[in-house]
Structure 1
Amino acid sequence: MIRITKSIISIFLLLSCFTTVVRAADFKPLPQWMKTAVFYQIYPQSFKDTNGDGIGDIQGIIEKLDYVKWLGCNVIWLNPCFESAFQDAGYDVINFYKVAHRYGTNDDLKRLFDEAHKRKMKVCLDLVAGHTSIESSWFKASQKNEKNAYSDRYIWTNDSTIKPEKFVSGKFERNGTYMKNFFDCQPALNYGYGQPDPKCPWEEPVTAEGPQSTRKELMNIMDYWMEMGCDGFRVDMAGSLVKKDPDLKETTNLWAEIRTHFQDKFPEGILLAEWGKPQQAIKVGFMMDFIIHLRNSGYDTMFFNKTGTYRRDTCYFDIKGNGSPDFFIKNLTTQLCAAGNDGYICIPTANHDFQRPCCGERNTVPQLKTVMTFLMNLPGIPLVYYGDEIGMRFIDGLPNKEGSQLTKGNRAGSRTPMQWDSSDNAGFSSGNNSSLYLPIDPSASRPTVEQEKKDPSSLLLFTKELIALRGKYAALGNRGEIKFLQSKDNQYPLIYERRLGKEAFIIVINPSGKDVSVSLDYDRVVQKVFPVLNSSKHKIIDYKNKQLKISAEPLSYGIFQIY
């Protein structure tokens, strides 16, 4: 009987897994335009100020659409632009249906959608699905004693003396404490619990009235902006909506329902996850997920040095040349395998939550060109965080601004004003709010867009060239395959192959300050090696007798087409 029981359980688990896979396979196809998508992330308050109040605005984004298109990016992702208390830079939303006054109006955002579409570009909004601001009218209504439509939209204990982990107490009409998602000012919306504990009556099942109303409201919010002209959403903390859901069963059900609803109405729209683990995010229904600093991805081992929001003693892209790419390569390979053709990964240059490539001792154009060569020549959808294309640096030691300070570090250093033109101190020198994000010291040496457009050796023109190569060669594009070639005995240089059909390239990147030479077995027949992009005047690759001989100078890079 014990064996029979175990067998039955095993079969049941297998069928459960099979059901999830079938459900994922039944999703409508991904939008075709994702095959050639190149993202540009804009932090609205720091991008371009047009009214002199010291804060970026939607009009500023409209004015710079041609620049983003010129760079080669065709999709924009905006950090939250809804009405907010700005205790967490817009991630504490007061009203999901209204643009924050500092940025403009709903009509301004609609005009941004329209202007982007005229240029064959797309705009994705940031959707803070898991929580609101404590200033939200929904949360204020939920605090009341009498039962109302919002009483169960948040997660409240039934006694103010009960305060589990992540619950916040205060002076409320109702007798209870509320659950937060991140900061205390961000009460968690109630999507229910995957495995509710009967001893905790506030842990409602996902089928309860409150969680069901919350998910319907989320779909209403998405419909509202999509009908206005939005092209999709990046969903904040996407995997955390349903609580206590270790097997992701109810999380999968939630996003499967949302994706089906979404694609039925907007088949060209996209859903992107802030999850940090594509093998999970894509399985539950997202079309793209980021490999970033979350979930032990290896991103930090490649880029994080001794300066920044998150710090390490060593990383691979360091002139000292004592890092290792092994952990990152292993995770990337796993995630690409798991995603298959069901979705895309995205490895951004940086974002609003962690440091830029130009950070600490990695602060010269040759160093940054090695980073950009790598990030713009990976499979998946590339993303340029505003300013990284000109080498804007992470500014250490800034004060806490709108919740930028975390326990481990300050995010403000990655949120400084876009450096358009030094003559106006990046366009953020005037207005009562000019100290929102401190302008960089005008006496300091710093690149600007206008300067770099005129410099043939600039990082800006180099990044533009890399993006153009992705569009020219399918093997270097979003669906091109990747195979890393170096062994554990040869950590430097980084050598990998990009291939699609008969088209093939070898990329060589040496971010160290040392000359490195290695010989590798290469089982493909090579008749010719053509340098598409080469930082060295010398021959980096030589092929003889099924061996690649690589000789890479310090801070060198090359993209070589092989025939």
Structure 2
Amino acid sequence: MERKWWKEAIVYQIYPRSFKDSNGDGIGDLNGIRQKLSYLKLLGIDVIWLSPVYQSPNDDNGYDISDYKKVMDEFGTMNDFDDLLKEAHENGIRIIMDLVVNHTSDEHPWFLESRSSRENPYRDYYIWREGKGENEPPNNWGSCFGGSAWEKDEKTGMYYLHLFSPKQPDLNWENEAVRNEVFEMMDWWCRKGIDGFRMDVISMISKTPSLPDGEVKEGLYGDFSPYAVHGPKVHTYLKEMNKKVLSNYDLMTVGETAGVTVEEARKYAGSGEQELNMVFHFEHVEGDGELRKWTDKKPDLLRLKRVLSRWQEELGDDAWNSLYWDNHDQPRAVSRFGDDSSRYREVSAKMLATCLHMMRGTPYIYQGEELGMTNYPFTELSQFRDIESLNAYKELIGKGLVSHETMMRYLRCKSRDHARTPMQWDDSPEAGFTNAVPWISVNPNYIEINAEKELADENSVFHYYRKLIKLRKNYEIIVYGNYELIMKEDTRVFAYVRSLGDERLLVVCNFSDEETAVSLPEEFFREDATCLIHNYNDSLQQRQSRLLPYEAAAYYLHKK
């Protein structure tokens, strides 16, 4: 296994709008991030993944970009970014940028030119098609954000493709000029000194040219995924990107690749493929609902173990895992996979951290996860800001597929807004995030859950994350060791063994709120086995036949 810095790094995702407001407008910004670099250094992270800070009309909170080389006014200036990058590097922290190049904003100059006439030189920068008939789109594809994936432009009488919002028209990667523009922009950021890219929906940049109808599911629209996810030229384009840009720098690259299989992941991130370092898959966070992601069911542990273990085992030595529970598009991990009640929130947050950070791969921490932040107790539709949530409510209610009460339950469980409520810094008004009215409400539990309180408590979730991060840096087996799932059919316990040469590591996690009997390998309970970390104050070593609710521990053994 080839050693690389990005394999050994801990990544911390920042959603700038919700991290820290430095100028009193209710919106987080770049200087707010600078103010908290000492906090991140104390935590021990190596890399910041910065969600988009580019110029944007904010239809999808910055994932609709109107200028790739300017900073959104709300976040500050390019000078502020340069200062942040410099200060982060001085603190030993790298920064990777969010690369959003499947689509732009409809306010990007390229699209303004493209829609101005059929003959415009920029027309072919986007995907335009004639309708099938009078007011009938070119095909039946549905958008990820609800409704048709096509928008008719009245001026030219043609439709443009948008797999997300109508204000996010898809770029035409078949056009070499588009690719060259993107590569030049990426190189511009690399020359500025950034350390890599997280690539938004990068698996969607290649579409089947004929754009055929998709299978109609749930009585709504056709499924575009067979024709626009892992499309016919996606690997050709990424190899070209690697050759022209990525290979010229020492970068970390991770692709967001919805619907990816282990086999497909090896094409994106295999050591000999010359594309990306790793990918994000979504199998473990995909819902079991009948209406796409919308459900309020608790995840099934047997399925979760099978999915994560398959990725651990089958990528092998040829590719690398990205490890995460939540991000800006997912609900809070402790509310979803753990228990956010006052009784078990802290211990279950520590259990989830143990389970993830002891696996093979690069761990990603989403802002507030290290505090055990929870889902927001939404009660009214007016409290939501997320375009996906609002559109889903309108569409599913409008078609009579769910009731208002049911959809509100689903939103309280799965809305992306849970991840986007402001970071909880202290118990002052608005959790110390801002001294103004925040752009989205602060979770009312900030009085109990906040960074200031946790920094002062050596037994807090925050300090537990610090310990996990230190262990990864001190024990090579945690980063590079092989993985083997044990207790495969246990419906409450997630346990696995890591191995590297003469070293062995046992990780055991109770995902239930009940005391649970277990049968663990005896070798780890000899006198020479060391308990590296444990989320209860007493030692599992004295009672290896049972686990307390949400108990987790890791045991290290070096065979002589």
The answer as to 2:191 corresponding to 1:227 is yes
In the TM superposition, 1:83-482 aligns within 5 A as: 83-145=55-117, 147-158=119-130, 161-163=135-137, 164-166=139-141, 167-191=149-173, 206=174, 211-244=175-208, 248-266=231-249, 268-276=250-258, 277=260, 279-284=263-268, 285-291=275-281, 294=282, 297-300=283-286, 310-315=294-299, 323-325=300-302, 327-359=303-335, 361-363=339-341, 364-397=345-378, 399-401=383-385, 403=387, 405=389, 407=392, 409=411, 410-431=415-436, 434-441=437-444, 445-477=447-479, 479-482=480-483
Q: Is the 8 A contact 1:507 1:559 kept in 2?
A: yes
The residue type paired with residue 500 of structure 2 is: L
Q: Deviations over 1:435-486 (max 9, x none)?
A: 41112337x6431111101112211111111111111111112x22211111
Which runs of structure 2 are paired with 1:59-98 in the superposition (5 Å)? 59-98=31-70
Query: Does residue 559 of the first structure (1) align with residue 545 of the second (2)?
Result: no
SS of the equivalent of 2:507 reads strand
Three-state SS of the structure 1 residue aligned to 2:42 is: helix
**Amino acid in the other structure paired with 1:550:** S
Q: What CA distance in whole angstroms lies between the structure 2 residues aligned with 1:524 and 1:535?
A: 18
Residue-by-residue CA offset, 1:138-183 (whole Å, 9 max, x unaligned): 1111112252331101111135745123443344432301111211
**Separation in 2 of the partners of 1:525 and 1:226?**
49
Equivalent in the alignment of 2:496? 496
Q: Is the 8 A contact 1:527 1:562 kept in 2?
A: no
Partner Cα distance (2:245, 2:314) in 1: 23
Asked which structure has the greater CA Rg, the reply is 1
1:215-260 deviation per Cα after TM superposition (whole angstroms, max 9, x unaligned): 1111111111111111111111111110125775411111111112
- Give the whole-Å Cα distance in 2 for the aligned partners of 1:217 and 1:386: 32
Counterpart code for 2:551: S
For residues 308 and 508 of structure 2, the distance between their equivalents in structure 1, rounded to whole angstroms, comes to: 18
Judging changes above 3 Å, is the alpha-carbon distance between structure 1 residues 557 and 523 closer, same or farther for their aligned structure 2 residues?
Answer: closer
Asked if structure 2 preserves the Cα contact closer than 8 Å seen for 1:89 and 1:404, the reply is no
Amino acid at match of 2:28: G
Task: Please say if residues 273 and 286 of structure 1, whose CA atoms lie closer than 8 Å, have aligned partners that are also in contact.
Answer: yes
Question: Percent identical across equivalent pairs?
Answer: 28
| Residue matched to 1:486 | 487
Q: Counterpart of 2:62 in structure 1: which amino acid?
A: G
User: Per the alignment, in what secondary structure is the counterpart of residue 117 of structure 1?
Assistant: helix
CA contact (8 A) 2:126 2:160 kept: yes
Counterpart Cα distance in 2 of 1:30 and 1:227: 26
In structure 1, what is the Cα distance between the partners aligned to 2:263 and 2:77?
38
Q: How far apart, in 1, do the equivalents of 2:136 and 2:441 lie? A: 42
Quote the RMSD (CA, aligned, Å).
2.8
User: What is the alpha-carbon distance in structure 2 between the residues aligned to residue 108 and residue 504 of structure 1?
Assistant: 46
Tell whether the 8 Å contact from 1:530 to 1:562 is kept in structure 2 after alignment: yes
Distance in 1 between residues matched to 2:36 and 2:537, nearest whole Å: 36
Give secondary structure in 1 for the equivalent of 2:483: strand
TM-score, scaled relative to structure 2: 0.81
Q: Tell me how far apart the structure 1 counterparts of residues 121 and 22 of structure 2 sit (CA, whole Å).
A: 40
Alpha-carbon contact 1:88-1:403 (below 8 Å) kept: yes
1:60 alignment partner, SS class: helix
Segments of 5+ residues of structure 2 without an aligned counterpart are 142-148, 209-226, 269-274, 393-409
Q: Is the 8 A contact 1:92 1:186 kept in 2?
A: yes
Describe the SS at the equivalent of 1:152: helix
SS, match of residue 545 in structure 2? strand
Which SS does the other structure have where 2:245 is aligned? helix
Relative distance call for 1:265 and 1:520 in structure 2 (3 A) is: closer
For 1:253 and 1:386, how far apart are their aligned partners in 2? Answer: 34
Q: 1:484 to 1:46 in 2, by over 3 A?
A: same
Asked if the contact 1:83–1:95 (Cα under 8 Å) also holds between the matched residues in 2, the reply is yes
- What per-residue deviation string (whole Å, max 9, x for no partner) do you get for residues 348-373 of structure 1? 13111111123275332112121111
Cα distance change of structure 1 residues 247 and 186 upon mapping to structure 2, 3 Å threshold: closer
SS in 2 for 1:393: coil
CA distance in 1 between partners of 2:438 and 2:96 (Å):
28
In structure 2, the CA distance between the partners of 1:525 and 1:75, relative to structure 1 (3 Å rule), is same
SS at match of 1:51: coil
Greater CA deviation, 534-543 or 48-57? 534-543
Contact 2:203 2:230 in 1 (8 A): no
Please say if residues 370 and 556 of structure 1, whose CA atoms lie closer than 8 Å, have aligned partners that are also in contact.
yes
1:384 match: secondary structure: strand
Partners of 1:247 and 1:73 in 2: how far apart? 32
Distance 1:461 1:418 in 2: 17
Q: Following TM superposition, by how much is the alpha carbon of 1:89 offset from its aligned partner in structure 2, in angstroms? A: 0.6
How many Å separate the matches in 1 of 2:153 and 2:531? 68
1:239 and 1:78 map into 2 onto residues whose CA distance is 20
SS in 2 for 1:422: coil
Distance 1:146 1:508 in 2: 61
**TM-score normalized by structure 1?**
0.80
**1:64 to 1:428, Cα distance in 2 relative to 1, 3 A:** closer
CA deviation map 1:320-355 (0-9, x unaligned): xxx433x33333343334433444211213111111
More helix by share: 2
1:271 alignment partner AA: T
